[in-house]
Amino acid sequence: MATGNRYLGLIDKYRDVLPVSDSTRLISIGEGNTPLIKLENIPALTGKNVDIYVKYEGLNPTGSFKDRGMTMAVTKAVEEGSKAIICASTGNTSASAAAYAARAGIKAFVLIPEGKIALGKLAQAMMHGAEIIQIKGNFDHGMQLVKEVAEHAPVTIVNSINPYRIQGQKTAAYEIVEALGKVPDYHCLPVGNAGNITAHWLGYTEMGKTSGEHPIMAGYQAAGAAPFLKGEMIDDPETVATAIRIGRPQSWDQAWAAQKESGGWFDLLSDEEILAAQKLLSEQEGIFCEPASAASVGGAIRDIKNGKIPEGSTIVCTLTGHGLKDPDTAISQCAINPKAIDASLDAVKAAILDKL
């Protein structure tokens, strides 16, 4: 139970709407309670009168929204007596699973696609002591293997097919409505496996049970990994936004339901558009998210400009992960630093005056 004002994580805060009891040992690292930040400079660039907020999920303990689901999944795994968890991952799920397993004192096995995982995420999984299994295949291959191996070994799957993941992640919608004091008109988010859009829709519909109020859900995919736009699973997903490099979304039906029931849509962005949105947020708002996250803002800006999202709307975009997760992609987008100059007042003064 909470004492004073100390925040004890999202399960403690939202225990009334989560499947835990008073005696459940909570495996928490203080996840959730992330800021909802109003954009100050980007809305004007759209030429339209809109309010855009970003839910900065990169400020969770391991730097992505995955912690919301992982605190629930690991809490329940431990409650049910599991000694090991397993997941396939494009990176953030493995970082989160590794951290929560460490906290709980159980083992984590993570299957990751060889060479296709951002450096920060790999560093996390390694530091938290997960057993890392690199496979010569993509996320979809890893997911299939995890499902098969879990039938033959005493390990709990903590991918978003674990229903407790979705339960934990729905709390983001609760936090948004609480922070805004109302339900947003539109909610934009990147879509990979589609667990997060499913979880948000669950949260919004639970809250709106009596009022019927809910946002319109817009899901954005990378052009090279856009099964929802194609209308079918794809085999070789490719995108710079590795967190959404997924061709066989596990929450396929649930995500279509969220889109249809909310009156929303799916759309896609090229890698160039995704990276441009990431840079725009960094330069205009001081907010650094990873490439996949920026698909939400890039998609929202485009749909504000083209009028699909009307003027006067309140829009929330989920920034799913922190920019520091993927330093390589960030640095490769920026101009190389100029040559070192003399360590003298004159040289530094000249360098500054040159830029003013």
Ligand X SMILES: *Cc1c(COP(=O)(O)O)cnc(C)c1O
Distance CA 208, CA 205 (A): 5
Please identify, using beta-carbon distances, which residue of 214 and 245 lies nearer to ligand X.
245
Torsion over CA: 210, 212, 213, 219 (sign): positive
Residue number, 273 or 290, with CB nearest to ligand X: 290
CB 20 within 8 A of CB 75: yes
Examine residue 243 and tell whether it contacts ligand X (CB under 6 A): yes
Q: Which is nearer to ligand X, 259 or 320 (CB)?
A: 320
Enumerate residues 6+ apart whose C-beta is below 8 A from 15: none
Measure the CA–CA gap between 134 and 120, rounded to whole angstroms.
16
> Is residue 244 part of the contact set for ligand X (CB under 6 A)?
yes
Distance between CA atoms of 22 and 266, rounded to whole angstroms? 40
Residue 342's nearest CA partner among 351, 334, 333 is 351
Find the part of the chain contacting ligand X (CB under 6 A) among 70-78, 191-199, 207-215, 335-343: 191-199
Considering only 75, 124, 196, 221, the residue that binds ligand X (CB under 6 A) is: 196
SS3 label, residue 88? strand
The beta-carbon contacts of 106-111 under 8 Å, at least 24 apart in sequence, are 106/74, 106/77, 106/78, 106/82, 107/83, 107/131, 108/84, 109/84, 109/85, 109/133, 109/155, 110/86, 111/86, 111/87, 111/135, 111/142, 111/145, 111/146
Position among 120, 142, 195, 215 found at the interface with ligand X (CB under 6 A) = 195
- Which of 192, 203, 298, 323: binder of ligand X (CB under 6 A)? 192
Single out the residue of 97, 176, 191, 300 in contact with ligand X (rule: CB under 6 A): 191
Shortest distance, position 163 Cβ to ligand X, whole Å: 14
Q: Does 92 bind ligand X (CB under 6 A)?
A: yes
Q: Measured from the CB atom, is 12 or 124 closer to ligand X?
A: 124
Please identify, among the stretches 105-113, 125-133, 150-158, 184-192, the one whose residues bind ligand X according to the rule CB under 6 A.
184-192
d(CA 279, CA 210): 41
Mask: binding to ligand X, 36-75, rule CB under 6 A, as x and -?
Answer: ----------------------------x-x---------
Per-residue binding letters, 280-319, with ligand X (x by CB under 6 A): ----------x-xx--------------------------
Kind of pairing between the strands at 265-269 and 216-222: parallel
190 contributes a contact to ligand X by CB under 6 A: yes
Phi, psi of 290 (to 5 degrees): -80, 165
Number of residues that bind ligand X (CB under 6 A): 18
* Closest C-alpha to 266, from 174, 347, 353, 194: 194
200 vs 214, beta carbon nearer ligand X: 200
Q: Quick one: which of 138, 221, 262, 320 contacts ligand X (CB under 6 A)? A: 320
Strand extents, DSSP E, 196-288: 216-222, 265-269
| Closest residue by Cα to residue 262 from 312, 218, 306, 299 | 218
Residue of 194, 269, 309, 315 that binds ligand X (CB under 6 A): 194
At its nearest, how many Å lie between ligand X and the CB of residue 320? Answer: 3
Taking CB under 6 A as the rule, does residue 87 contact ligand X?
no
Can you give the binding site for ligand X, defined by CB under 6 A? 64, 66, 92, 160, 190-196, 243-244, 290, 292-293, 320-321
